[in-house]
A and B are shown apart, each in its own frame.
Chain A
Amino acid sequence: MSQHAVKAPPTPDFVPTLAWAAALMVLLQLTGSTSWMLVPPGLLALGAFVSWQRLPGAFFASMPISLWFETTGFGIEDIAYVIMMMGDAGLPQNRKGYVSMGIENLASIVLWFALGMVWIGGFRELALRTMVNSDPFPGPSDRFGPCPYTRSLIPAQTGRRQSSIGLAMLSIGILIVMIMQFSNLYPEISYYSILRIRFVTLVGGALLVMLAVRAVTGYLHWRAMPQLEAEMVLQEGGWREGSREFTALNRWLSWARLSARMRGERQWKRLLGRRKQS
C-alpha cells in the first residue's frame, strides 16, 4: 500500500478563471457598445463552475456571434424588452440598423470563427490524449498505469502555463482598449494614419506587454526553481561565458596527454632496442 504525502489543498480551478473572465468582461464591455460582448466572458465564468471541457470552443464560437449582434447595435436588454412588450413598443431609436458590417468586422468574425472551430475540433485535447496514450506513464508506484493527465483541458487553471495563458488573454484585452483609445484620440487625421497607429499599437504593444509579463512571470518561475535546476543554470551560464577558455584548456590538456603518451612509447622502443642489441 503506497503512502501518499499529505499536501496542501490547491487553489480551486475556478478562482483564476473567474478573475480573468471578470477582467476580460470589463475590457470587452469597454470596447463594445452593447451587452453582447458580455456573453463570451460570461460563458467562461459559467464554465469555471461546471468544468466543461468544450468551454474554450464555446468561448471562441460565441465571439463571432456576439460580434455579429454587436454590429446591429441592439443589446440583449433591447431584445428582451421587445419580446416582453410583444413588439408593441417597437425597437429603440438611435441605433445603427440591423447589420452594418464592414470588411474589418467581417475579417474579425471569420478569424474568431476559425479559431473556435479549430478549438472545437479538439486539436489540443486530441494531441494531448494521443501523446499520453502513445507513451504510457511509467509511474513509480503504478507502472504503465492510468493516464496521469487528470486535469480538465480548460485553458485557465492553476499552474504556471495556465496562469501565463490568462495573463496573455488579459494583455490582449488591454491592447484592444489601447487601440480603441488611440483611434478615438485622433479623429481628424487620415484613415491610413489611423491604420498605421493601430498596426503599430497592436504589434508593438503586444510585444511590449508580452515582454513585461514574461519578465514578471519568468522571475516568479525562477524563484521557485529547485536546487538541481539552479545548478544546471549556473553551469550553463558558466559554459556560455567561458566556453572558449574551457575549450582552449581542454585542447592543451589533450595535447599534453598525447605528447606524454608518445614520449613514453618512444622511451619503451628505445629500451627494447637496447635489449635486442645486448
Chain B
Amino acid sequence: MIRWSGWLREILGWILVLVGLYGFFMALGLIVNRQVIGGTVVGVLSVFMYRSGVGFLKMAVAARICQQAQDRVYPAPARPTPVRPGRPGA
C-alpha cells in the first residue's frame, strides 16, 4: 500500500517542481515586460511550490527506501502450498 502512495507522492512532487519552475519562468517574462509586482508575486508563489515539490520528493524517496529495507528484513510469508490428496491405493 505504501509502495503506491510513495510513487504517487513522487509523481506529485515532480508535478509541483515543474509547475514551480514554469511559474518562475512566467515571472521572468512578466519582469522583462515591466510588470515587476506581478512577477514578484508569481515568483514567490513559484518558489513555495518548488520547495513543496522538493520536500514531497525527498520524503517519498526516503519512505520508499525504508519500505524496501523493511521488506528485506521481514519478507512476506510464503503462501502455504495446498496438499494434494493421496492417490487411492498408493
Interfacial residues, chain A to chain B (CB-CB below 8 A) = 196-197, 200-201, 204-205, 207-208, 211-212, 215, 218-219, 222-223, 225-227, 229-231, 233-234, 237
Q: Say whether chain A's binding surface is mostly helix, strand, loop, or mixed.
A: helix
Which residues of chain B come closer than 8 Å to A215, judged between CB atoms?
17, 21, 50, 53-54, 57
Q: Is the CB of A222 within 8 A of B21?
A: no
Report the bound CA distance from A231 to B69 in whole Å: 10
CB of B12 within 8 A of chain A? no
Across-interface contacts of A200 in B (CB, < 8 A): 28, 31-32
- A208-B28 in contact (CB<8A): yes
Contacts of A205 in B (CB 8 A): 28
Interface residues on B, range: 20 to 34
A230 contacts B66, C-beta separation under 8 Å: yes
A248–B7 Cα gap in the complex (Å)? 33
Is the beta-carbon distance between B62 and A234 smaller than 8 angstroms?
A: yes
Contact between B50 and A211 (Cβ–Cβ < 8 Å)?
Answer: yes
* Complex alpha-carbon distance, A225 and B31, angstroms: 39
Q: Say yes or no: B21 contacts A208, CB within 8 Å.
A: yes
A219 to B17, CA, bound (A): 11
B24→A233 contact, CB < 8 A: no
**A234–B66 contact, CB under 8 A?**
yes
Count A-B contacts at CB 8 Å.
65
Contacts of B32 on A, CB cut-off 8 Å? 196-197, 200-201
Task: Please indicate which of the listed interface residues B17, B21, B27, B65 has the most CB atoms of chain A within 10 Å of its own CB.
Answer: B65
Q: Is A233 touching B59 in the complex (CB atoms < 8 A)?
A: yes
Query: Assuming A196-B32, A227-B69, is B62 touching A237 (CB within 8 A)?
Result: yes
- Specify the chain A residue showing the minimal Cβ separation from B59: A237
B67 to chain A, nearest CB (A): 9
Q: A200-B28, A208-B25, A227-B65 are in contact. List 9 more A-B contacts (CB 8 A).
A: A197-B32, A204-B31, A207-B24, A208-B24, A215-B54, A222-B61, A222-B62, A237-B58, A237-B62
Q: Which residues of chain B from 31 to 65 have a CB within 8 Å of any chain A CB?
A: 31-32, 50, 53-55, 57-59, 61-63, 65
A/B interface sample: 6 pairs, CB < 8 A: A205-B28, A208-B25, A211-B50, A223-B61, A231-B62, A234-B66
Pairwise interchain contact B54-A230, C-beta atoms closer than 8 A: no
Q: Residue A227 contacts which of B21, B24, B28, B66 (CB distance < 8 angstroms)?
A: B66
Contacts of A196 in B (CB 8 A): 32
A191 to chain B, nearest CB (A): 16
Interfacial chain B residues near A222, Cβ < 8 Å? 57-58, 61-62
Q: Which residues of B contact A225 (CB under 8 A)?
A: 61-62, 65
Q: How far is the CB of A50 from chain B (nearest CB, A)?
A: 39
